[in-house]
Chain A
Amino acid sequence: MADVAPNPGRSVIYCGVCTLPPEYCEYGGTNKKCQEWLEKSHPELYQRIWSVEALEAATASLSVEAQERAAKDAKKKAAKAKAAEEKQAEKLSNSVVTIKRIERNKRKYVTSVSGLEAFGLELKKVAKDFGKKFATGSSVTKTPSGGEEIVVQGDVSDEIEEFLLEKYKEIPEDNIELVEDKKKKGAAAG
């Protein structure tokens, strides 16, 4: 409270891992990572918060019992966070982006892209990007099975694959799947 800054107010450093102010990292569940981050990017702060003396001073005021309980709680939380992270990673490696070329009329195609949401992308924004990139109509539509997919006009499946790999590095190449779908009207009519 001592450093009453003038106008724009104080600027507080937030942890790059858990977004909390670094002194609260110990409650975030990703303690280890936060510490590493802080040591790398703000060594002086790290010294102040995680040095041995600071830790001792912090725990001195608690009773032994309370300390134990807190430690146990923290451990549980960390384990939970870790499990969630692993699960997320597994989900990520299992999820597949499907690019489907659908014949709409003879020699007319639309391209549908599904599975992007698993990579934490916002479909609406990606759809807009596709539209801009390929100068075609591009929209988010609901699939009958309940999910959502992006439908781009025209046959741009190869370009989309390239574009995705280039722009969204988090999608591994192996997780993109190209599919061709020929039926639609043709199948229904014939």
Chain B
Amino acid sequence: MFKKDLSASPRQKLKSSIQRHIRQSVLTTYPLLTPFIDDVMPKKASLEQMKLPDRVSLYVCDNQPLFFQHDTDALLPHLKLVHRFPQCFPTIRIDRGAIRFVLSGATLMAPGLTSKGGRLPEPNAREGKEPIGEGAPNEGADEEGRWSRELEKGEPVVVMAEGKEEAAAVGILVMGTKEIKEKGKGPVMEETHFLGDGLWNLSLD
């Protein structure tokens, strides 16, 4: 989605009612972020909105990019935010061979996930573990990087990579993870924001 470089546009401060609204929708989309929401969006700091081409808006707080949103789709976290709170977003993992394609903006395809280096969610991977914080549902990734719940079509998801610690991309699933396992081919994710794309390189100062 952000293959081309973007140029910064003026930012507007958002009304506090809208800020509250965004905060609420962040929490509904990412319940795992509940314990950290005050760190992500401090109550005092004002949230700003930057309008980008193609009806994308980026929410910025204290010069930190937080979320971006296309039209009225789901809010997606900026990768810098993902790097700060990696445990708060559902993840899938791609194998090493797929990294370079994803980082040049290709659509994520199923084989990159179903192969040996890829990781798809595995229910019950998290039995007997505690939730990461108060108010957060009990789900997360196991040591191998398998998320503990099957993800549905249309859910936002963070893409990790084999052998790497940091996330490589975020996007919306166009195929449920269950279906991916069954089918094993076809596109999996769209609307991606990946490392080194225009949004990543957008300077905010």
Residues on A lying within 8 angstroms of B by beta carbon are 1, 4, 7-12, 18-21, 23-24, 27-28, 57-58, 61-62, 66, 70, 73-74
Give chain A's interface secondary structure class: loop
Bound state CA distance, A8 and B40, in angstroms? 8
Once A19-B200, A61-B116 are accepted as A-B contacts, the answer to whether A24 and B84 lie under 8 Å apart by CB is: no
User: B201 near A19 (CB under 8 angstroms)?
Assistant: yes
* Assembly CA distance A150 to B83 (angstroms): 41
Q: Is B172 an interface residue (CB 8 A)?
A: no
Which residues does B use to contact A, with CB under 8 Å?
36, 39-40, 80-81, 83-87, 95-97, 99-100, 103-104, 116-117, 132, 141, 145, 162-166, 168, 195-196, 200-201
Q: Cα distance A11–B166 when bound, in Å?
A: 11
Given contacts A24-B166, A27-B103, contact A9 B196 (CB under 8 A): no
In the assembled complex, which residues on chain A have CB atoms less than 8 Å from the CB atom of B103? 24, 27
Closest to A54 in B: B163
Q: Which residues of B contact A66 (CB under 8 A)?
A: 97
**How far is the CB of A100 from the nearest CB of chain B, in Å?**
27
- From B36, B99, B195, A9 is in contact (CB under 8 Å) with B36
Q: Which residue of A lies closest to B200 (CB)?
A: A19
CA distance A7 to B199 in the complex (A): 25
30 inter-chain pairs at a CB distance below 8 angstroms, sorted by A residue, are A1-B86, A1-B141, A1-B145, A1-B165, A8-B39, A8-B84, A9-B39, A10-B83, A10-B84, A12-B84, A12-B166, A19-B196, A19-B200, A19-B201, A20-B196, A21-B164, A23-B166, A24-B103, A24-B164, A24-B195, A24-B196, A27-B99, A27-B103, A27-B195, A57-B163, A58-B96, A58-B163, A61-B95, A61-B162, A62-B97
Looking across the interface, which residue of chain A has its beta carbon closest to that of B160? Answer: A1
A7, B96: Cβ atoms closer than 8 Å: no
Inter-chain CA distance A23–B165, complex, in Å, is 8
The 9 closest A-B pairs by CB, nearest first: A9-B84, A12-B83, A21-B166, A27-B103, A7-B39, A9-B85, A23-B164, A20-B195, A27-B100
Distance (Å) between the CB of A61 and the closest chain B CB? 6
Chain B residues positioned under 8 Å from A57 (CB to CB):
163
Tell me the smallest distance from the CB of A132 to a CB of chain B, in Å. 19
Assembled-state Cα–Cα distance A70/B104 (Å): 13
* Whole-angstrom CA separation of A12 from B168 in the bound complex: 13
Minimum CB–CB distance for A19 against chain B, Å: 7
Task: Specify the chain A residue showing the minimal Cβ separation from B99.
Answer: A27
Cα distance, A7 to B133, chains bound together (Å):
12
Q: Which of B100, B162, B200 contacts A70 (CB 8 A)?
A: B100
